[in-house]
Amino acid sequence: MCGIVGYIGKKNCVPIIIEGLKRLEYRGYDSAGIAVINEAKSTVIKNKGKVSLLEKSTENVNLNSPLGLGHTRWATHGIPNEINSHPHCNHDQSIMLIHNGIIENYQVLKTMLIKSGFKFISDTDSEVIVHLIDSFVHKGYGLFKSVRFALNEVEGTYGIAVISTKEPDKIIVAKKGSPLVIGIGENENYLASDVNALIAHTKHVVYLEDGEIAEVYADRFTAKTIEDEDIQKEIIELTMNLDEIDRGGYPTFMLKEIMEQPDSVTNSMRGRLIFEEGTAKLGGLEAVLNKLIHSKRFIISACGTSWHAGLVGEYMFEQFLRIPTEVEYASEFRYRNPIINEDDTIFFISQSGETADTLAAMKEAKRKGALVLGICNVVGSSIARESDGGVYIHAGPEIGVASTKAFTGQLTVLALITMLLARKKDMSLADGKALYNEFIQIPEKINRILALNEQIEKIAEEFKDSNNFLYLGRGYNFPVALEGALKLKEISYIHAEGYPAAEMKHGPIALVDENMPVVFIAPKDSTYDKIVSNIQEIKARKGRIIAIASEHDEEIDKLVDFTIKIPDTVRILMPMLTVVPLQLLAYHIAMKKGLNVDQPRNLAKSVTVE
């Protein structure tokens, strides 16, 4: 989760590192710190709180250094405070380290190190690594070997960077389970846990793989495995632009990303729909298409919002492909010894492509012989590199912690996969062309929903002081109810639950009174009459009802307190429309409560620790 930035070259590293940390602050914002080396002397500055506080602290100190590391923290071990923030140092501050991940055997290592005379000042697991490195330095090894030897003692996950006053011409970096990227410049090099921190300085990067360690100098780098085998790394050119990670005139990243959805959905389908054949073309699946078509079972594994997208995918796959589909929480998948067969296909969905639980589940499925496919947003991410094939959603960088455009991008890609496979199976050409025609109208229909922004903001004013919400939907829109509730919880801190509409009679209806807002997702589809009956049941108990309804549905206006009217489309694509007003509703409620929607408390964008 945490953000890591480093620089080595000829420039003053401090503004470069601070700028990079600001771009990575969505990965964690409990505390921040910076360590620099100049003329064999080290300086470390750390603050509880956001990077802006660290920036002010550095302005009060005359720092000018060509070598440094920075870190913005999402707390795991130890409360957010100055002592627990990174970088961590050895006793004389000659070795400094930043870490993203979790060291599972840190207590054993800490006990051993304390017996050897090392003193700890923090409650973190990360401090163990720096003292462990120091223990090997004391034995006469250089920094690179000391880091390598130390990591062979460590169990868990890490993305680390280490510098030393005794070898001030290099940064040592290593990766296992947490992302780390080296940015290649001219007589200067960078490192980060995310390319967003690098894009202002270079478009040429090297992705470290698990079990790799690199020695980064100003003019070169060398890489090895942790077992000391030499490896050659490919330098990759990024296509991202700096404009994509700015707010673009919007007050928040979240609103910008909601409003970008007509474009992001267009980009997710661009070049992939073929009208003449009534199908989709997905290059990342071509090599595995035959095995995919003949799979006996699909499994979708994901976390959070991506899991909700997977639930929609289950409806798509079973309706159109008639392939049994299961949706699994990635965080539980590998721990219950799942039954996986070689004729299974498992889709792993992750916006970042770095979600630790999802990545671990993918490796387990791959080990058991299944076809593993990735659906992610970040080109070159770990899931993309580990999978047998897959599809990028091409939604563009998503900076807001609460996912919006990535969700609709994931739905787009799942529908494209369904269309591709359905045309290989039973879907007729006429039906394929009809689905094509519906597909290409989705961006314009999302635009029409976004035009209701002011209306939705007024509804938010009515409910900003509510303590609880219920979200109810049926069929394809049940997962959308879950996603709408999650968005509200994430950014407004209002308790909310999503349910299949009929399930409310089995318990949740006990919560309904005149103070309970209930959001119904009620487009005119095959479940509409049942939804109307459920609305009547809530109305009879004086619940306050908001309905997401079809544009031409006038009857529903008589039954509910507020309606948000949206265009119609076919069932498979409807969640791409029904979710948008729920995103805006959550956004405006949170903003009216004066909350930071881009950086909600306790959350981070990319969950890279289990």
Instruction: Supply the pLDDT for residue 354.
Output: 85
Instruction: Identify the pLDDT of residue 402.
Output: 93
- Would you say residue 608 has pLDDT above 60? no
Cβ(570)–Cβ(318) under 8 Å? no
* 579 burial type by CB count under 10 A (0-12 exposed, 13-18 middle, 19+ buried): buried
* For residues 152-158, average pLDDT: 92
Contacts of residue 287, Cβ cutoff 8 Å, sequence gap at least 6: 388, 389
pLDDT of 520:
97
Q: Where is pLDDT greater, at 168 or 333?
A: 168
Predicted pLDDT at 606: 58
Q: 374, 384 in Cβ contact below 8 A? A: yes
Q: Reduced to 3 states, what is the DSSP secondary structure of residue 401?
A: coil
Query: Which range in 60-64, 197-201, 287-291 is most confidently predicted, on average pLDDT?
Result: 287-291
Two structure tokens written together for 278 = 């009534």
Lowest average pLDDT, out of 25-39, 221-235, 291-305, 344-358, goes to: 25-39
Q: Is residue 2 annotated as a catalytic residue, yes or no?
A: yes
Q: Which two tokens stand for residue 466?
A: 């509510």
Q: What is the edge-to-edge ordering of all strands in the sheet holding 67-73? A: 41-48, 31-38, 67-73, 3-8, 189-192, 181-184, 204-207, 236-237
Helix ranges (H only) for 197-237 are none
Give me the pLDDT at residue 522, please: 96
pLDDT category of residue 1 using cuts at 50, 70 and 90: low
CB-count burial class (<10 Å; 0-12, 13-18, 19+) for 293: middle
Q: Note the pLDDT tens digit of each residue in 379-418.
A: 878 898 889 999 999 998 898 989 999 999 999 999 999 9
Query: What mean pLDDT do residues 20-25 have?
Result: 87
The CATH code belonging to domain 452-600 is 3.40.50.10490
Q: Where exactly are the structural domains of the chain?
A: 3-243, 247-450, 452-600
Q: Exactly one of 22, 110, 175, 605 is catalytic; name it.
A: 605
Architecture label for domain 3-243: 4-Layer Sandwich (3.60)
pLDDT, averaged across the chain: 92
Please tell me the predicted confidence (pLDDT) of residue 24: 84
**3-243 and 247-450 have identical folds:** no
Report pLDDT digits (tens) over 85-131.
999 999 999 999 999 888 999 999 999 999 999 999 998 999 999 99
> 2, 89, 303, 376: which is the annotated catalytic residue?
2
Residue 257 tokens read as 């990303």
Mean pLDDT of 308-321: 98
pLDDT at 605: 60
Q: Is the pTM of this model over 0.75?
A: yes
CATH superfamily of 247-450: Glucose-6-phosphate isomerase like protein; domain 1 (3.40.50.10490)
At residue 397, the pLDDT reads 87
pLDDT digits (tens, 9 = 90+) for 461-476: 999 999 999 999 999 9
236-237 and 230-231 strand pairing: unpaired
Q: Which residue has the higher pLDDT, 30 or 372?
A: 372
pLDDT (average), residues 220-237: 94
Burial of 5 (C-beta count, 10 Å sphere; 0-12/13-18/19+): buried
Give the per-residue pLDDT at 454: 97
pLDDT at residue 422 greater than cutoff 80: yes
503-532 per-residue burial string, b: 16 or more CB within 10 A, e: under 16: ebeeeebeebeeebbbbbbbbbbebbeebb
- Per DSSP (E only), the strands in 251-409 are 273-274, 279-280, 297-302, 325-329, 344-350, 371-376, 389-392
Q: Which two tokens stand for residue 339?
A: 């039954």
pLDDT score of 322 more than 90? yes
pLDDT at 50: 84
Find the range with the poorest average confidence among 234-248, 280-294, 301-315, 576-590: 234-248
Rounded Cα gap, residues 517 and 519, in angstroms: 7
Percent of the chain clearing pLDDT 70 (strictly above): 98
Q: Catalytic residue at 368? A: no
Q: Give the integer Cα–Cα distance in Å for 487 and 305.
A: 9
